[in-house]
Structure 1
Amino acid sequence: MMMNKLLIVLTTMGLAIVAKAQVIQKLTLQESIQIASDSSLQSFRVNNLYQASFWEYRAFRAARLPSLTLNMTPVEYNREFIRRYEPDSNIDVYRIQQSLYSSANVAVNQNLDMTGGTFFIDSEFGFFRNMGQTAFTQYSSVPIRIGYVQSLTGFNPFRWEKKIEPLKYEKAKKQYLYSREEVSESVIEHFFTLALAQAEYEMAIDNVKSADTLFHIGQERFKIAAISQADMLTLKLDAINANNSLKNIEIELKKATFNFRSFLNLEEGNQFEIVLPQRPKDLSIPIDRALDYAQANNPDYLGNRQEIMEAEREADKASKEAAFNADLWLSTGFNQVAGTVSGAYRDPLQQNIVRIGLSVPILDWGVRKGRVNMAKNNLNVARISVQQKELSLEQDVMVTVSDFNIQQDMINSAEEALDLAVAAYNATRQRFIIGKSDINSLTLSLNRQKEAQKNYISVLKNYWLSYYRIRKLTLYDFERQAPLSFLFDKMNNVR
């Protein structure tokens, strides 16, 4: 049966002129997907994109913890003319000044999510030497200083970060799984393209053999006037066309093999065989369940929430900064200046600093009002855009699930049609050999067999594409009845 022949191993290395004795690796569809998920260049890109998001989230988490910073000016040398007032002559004169300066500051900073301000504790030491006509050296110190910096507009960037950044990271994890399923879809395209090319190559070889056999039979029958000269010439033409077709199909097979090998990032020297998947078992996927899983797992839903939150943040910022900009700086500590290092730390004096910065627009010709309205309009646009995206995504899920459920019935029909086409061709061929069928019937039967074979592989390909597209849209494995988060846990060694 041709059906059994289709399910036999499809050998992609059959075109090699010289085949060395070595182990040939057999690749099923699932094994090909696994190799691509681990080794393909597309998979490397997926992993790197996730790692970038992971470290971005780590940076956000780190910003919530106290940070220790060292700020230094190791050396600053100045030689310049400066203007000085001369009291004896009551005039300003330019005098040359040379100085050397150095400083260091160690600070501990803590961002406060609740208020949006920053609390800090720091210590500072400075050195100054005047190298002009009046040379002297001074050391300054701030043994300890405690302070707080706060924006007074009411906009709290830390609070928004605390809401958005975890959502972005959760989206990145979902996007990683989503992209892995996109890799699987690409593998299916390459896998079945190669399977179809190999099947056509096998059919072309059989066609060459069959055409040659029929041509020789035709020659013998022509000698006894059992067939016309036109039929005999048609058989000869079929034999020539079969050989030409085989050469063209060999080229397509080489291309398909190269693309498959390149996508899976397989080494050039390795030989492999691909095995067509068996007829899939019946699997019914309810549309309502698929929609529920998509809403819970699809990264686009998280992306939509992120888009709205970011638009709300910009609207909040624009409205709260529209009236004025103001910030508060409070600090208290000790400082001292002396001619020696030890003196700079002896009997420090108290240092208190209170500073309020205020910027109030008096006339800006509606610039800030325009920013507020633009931010609000962007928020409205984001909400409408999200609604449209979610409706489109729901429709995509429903169409894909419906198509998948139909594909299972189509596989049954394609399988039955292939069996019938193979049986019909074999019967017609035998009838032609014994002279009970003409060349037109034989050619028509052969073409029907080819089309049935191609259609079966195409339907099988569409079935697996639909299934993996559902997995991608829902991030759920309906065969295992489990979410695809186990792939993410596997990558991160979560037990």
Structure 2
Amino acid sequence: MTAQQMVLSLEKTIQLAADSSLEAFRSKNLYLTGYWEFRNYKAERLPSLTLNLTPAQYYRDITKRYDSEADIDVYRKQQSFYAGGSLNLKQNFDWLGGSFYIDSDLGYMRYFGENTYNQFTSVPVRIGYSQDLVGYNAFRWERKIEPLKYEKVKKEFLYNMESISEQATTYFFALAMAQVEYDMAKENVANTDTLYRTGQERHKIAAISQEDLLTLKLDAVNAKNTLKNAEIALKRAMFSLASYLNFEKSEEIRLRLPSRPRDLHISVEEALTLARENNPEFLEMKQSILEAEQEVDRTKKEAMFNASVNASIGFNQVSSRFRDVYKDPLQQDIVAISVSIPLVDWGVRKGKHNIAKSNLSIAQTTAQQKEISVEEDVIMTVGDFNIQQNLISSAEEALDIALMAYQKTKQRFLIGKADINSMTLSLNRQQEAQRNYITALQNYWLSYYKIRKLTLHDFETGVSLSNEFDYEHEL
């Protein structure tokens, strides 16, 4: 079976990596996890309606009861049936940290045995409010943290996609270098064969020595060995790129190198400003500090005492007949306050609070260290990028000169005006210039996509990647 051939540019390679690679699939699912977590948070801020049903509940057992006439506890048989349901509407109240609720209940009981009877009970409507009174408001902290977490998830997705671009660029130029090495090795085989045959003719007329002829023959043998090794390296690089792009492993790939990029100067100050606004590492720092502050607040308030309140007002009724269970309902008022005061806990709560304060200090210090690290990375990457533009120009010029010098030296050798050493040196310089040009292109594009990753900004178009983010269209 003949292998298929695909011609890829750098832009097309990055596009395919963003669409088809396993790393892109992983990044998309990580985003979806954070997206649905945020959706759940938003949903919890809305009223929830719940229907609870107990269609049938049957008991037949022996239970302990108090006999008031004999003033003793006795065991008696009990047999009963129960069915019921309730409808609950709940709304969390972020400002105070409690919950309002409205519910309605209906239940039915039937007792069997000597005194068989039925009972219906109903709560037509009940309105209430419940919350903790210790001062810790989890809802208020969620309002600070959850939107920040989702913003971080969005920017982490963009960051990961730019990392994919960076990784795809690495694989692209690894294959590009392997292809150049293979093409040079192939050309070198042809050149050394030509030079060796020419040397044989010149040796016949004593134009070159036996040692020079052997050197030409050795070059021809080494060129063939180099070609075999270059072919192996080419297959490996092609396999690596195909695997990363999630292609068939038999896919034959040829690359089209990007042209020389246009000059683009990036300011270090601008890049640092954009990194502080968009880089998910900075959002991660803010989140870790907020979560540590949340724990300090919680442990501080819980170290004093725990208290909660539940108050409701409504109506209820009981009757042996269903048609009467909603007639003339009686008012139902419930107020419950519970308090838990730690008298002796051997410093457990105080210890938890001190641990939380220490963790906050650690989070703040770690954030400062990460901030310095990210800023250093931005400064160094921008500096490398601006230098690489000049290096591409130099590498391109050096390649043109090396190619011209090699062709002239080759022609001079063929007419007997250049020796073996000059020919070999010229060939090595030409091949080294080709390698340097590929390396300069690679370093330029790696620096470019790393800057995009660190700042989430497209400097060519001046567009912020995070502002233009639309996940639905990204898929």
- Cα distance in 1 for residues equivalent to 2:404 and 2:338: 91
Of 151-160 and 339-348, more deviation after overlay is shown by 339-348
Alignment of 1:264-413 (within 5 A): 264-267=245-248, 272-413=253-394
Q: Does structure 1 retain, via aligned residues, the 8 Å contact 2:3–2:252?
A: no
Q: Does structure 2 retain, via aligned residues, the 8 Å contact 1:177–1:487?
A: no
- Cα distance in 2 for residues equivalent to 1:158 and 1:180: 33
* Residue 456 of structure 1 pairs with residue 453 of structure 2: no
* Residue 94 of structure 1 pairs with residue 94 of structure 2: no
* Residue 75 of structure 1 pairs with residue 56 of structure 2: yes
* Residue 56 of structure 1 pairs with residue 31 of structure 2: no
Shift of 1:292: 0.9
Task: Classify the secondary structure of the residue corresponding to 1:266.
Answer: coil
* Residue 218 of structure 1 pairs with residue 199 of structure 2: yes
The equivalent residue for 1:468 is 449
- Cα distance in 1 for residues equivalent to 2:425 and 2:114: 111
- Cα distance in 2 for residues equivalent to 1:268 and 1:387: 45
- Cα distance in 2 for residues equivalent to 1:230 and 1:101: 109
Structure 1, unmatched stretches of 5+, are: 1-16
Deviation sequence 1:146-203 (CA, Å, 0-9, x none): 1100110011111111111111111111112111111100110011111111111111
Shift of 1:228: 2.3
Alignment of 1:132-281 (within 5 A): 132-267=113-248, 272-281=253-262
* Residue 492 of structure 1 pairs with residue 467 of structure 2: no
> What is the TM-score of this pair, normalised by structure 1?
0.91
- Cα distance in 2 for residues equivalent to 1:483 and 1:278: 25
Shift of 1:437: 2.5
Shift of 1:132: 3.4
* Aligned partner of 1:445 among 426, 430, 435: 426
Task: Classify the secondary structure of the residue corresponding to 2:61.
Answer: strand
* Residue 423 of structure 1 pairs with residue 404 of structure 2: yes
Q: Does structure 1 retain, via aligned residues, the 8 Å contact 2:318–2:325?
A: yes
- Cα distance in 2 for residues equivalent to 1:330 and 1:345: 23
Equivalences, count: 474
- Cα distance in 1 for residues equivalent to 2:46 and 2:175: 54
- Cα distance in 2 for residues equivalent to 1:50 and 1:283: 32
Task: Classify the secondary structure of the residue corresponding to 2:469.
Answer: helix
- Shift in alpha-carbon separation, 1:30–1:352, aligned structure 2, 3 A: same
- Cα distance in 2 for residues equivalent to 1:462 and 1:105: 67
- Cα distance in 2 for residues equivalent to 1:175 and 1:349: 57
Shift of 1:268: 5.8
Shift of 1:270: 6.2
* Residue 33 of structure 1 pairs with residue 14 of structure 2: yes
Q: Does structure 1 retain, via aligned residues, the 8 Å contact 2:242–2:251?
A: no
- Cα distance in 2 for residues equivalent to 1:268 and 1:487: 35
> What is the TM-score of this pair, normalised by structure 2?
0.95
- Cα distance in 2 for residues equivalent to 1:128 and 1:240: 100
Shift of 1:407: 0.7
* Residue 65 of structure 1 pairs with residue 46 of structure 2: yes
Q: Does structure 1 retain, via aligned residues, the 8 Å contact 2:278–2:466?
A: no
Structure 2, unmatched stretches of 5+, are: none
Q: What letter corresponds to residue 472 of structure 2 in structure 1? A: N
- Cα distance in 2 for residues equivalent to 1:253 and 1:166: 48
- Cα distance in 2 for residues equivalent to 1:239 and 1:340: 108
Q: Does structure 2 retain, via aligned residues, the 8 Å contact 1:415–1:456?
A: yes
Q: What letter corresponds to residue 492 of structure 1 in structure 2? A: E
Q: What letter corresponds to residue 46 of structure 1 in structure 2? A: S
Q: What letter corresponds to residue 354 of structure 1 in structure 2? A: V
- Shift in alpha-carbon separation, 1:18–1:167, aligned structure 2, 3 A: closer
- Cα distance in 1 for residues equivalent to 2:250 and 2:230: 23
Shift of 1:59: 0.9
Percent of aligned pairs sharing the same letter:
56
Shift of 1:368: 0.5
Of 41-50 and 440-449, more deviation after overlay is shown by 440-449
- Cα distance in 2 for residues equivalent to 1:138 and 1:231: 116
Task: Classify the secondary structure of the residue corresponding to 2:259.
Answer: coil
- Cα distance in 2 for residues equivalent to 1:211 and 1:474: 50
Shift of 1:128: 1.7
Task: Classify the secondary structure of the residue corresponding to 1:492.
Answer: helix
Of 306-315 and 27-36, more deviation after overlay is shown by 27-36
The equivalent residue for 1:120 is 101
- Shift in alpha-carbon separation, 1:184–1:92, aligned structure 2, 3 A: same
Deviation sequence 1:52-72 (CA, Å, 0-9, x none): 111111111111111101122
- Shift in alpha-carbon separation, 1:64–1:19, aligned structure 2, 3 A: closer
- Shift in alpha-carbon separation, 1:49–1:380, aligned structure 2, 3 A: same
- Cα distance in 1 for residues equivalent to 2:370 and 2:112: 70
Q: Does structure 2 retain, via aligned residues, the 8 Å contact 1:397–1:470?
A: yes
Q: What letter corresponds to residue 60 of structure 2 in structure 1? A: R
Shift of 1:25: 4.8
- Cα distance in 1 for residues equivalent to 2:72 and 2:94: 56
Name the Cα RMSD after superposition: 1.9
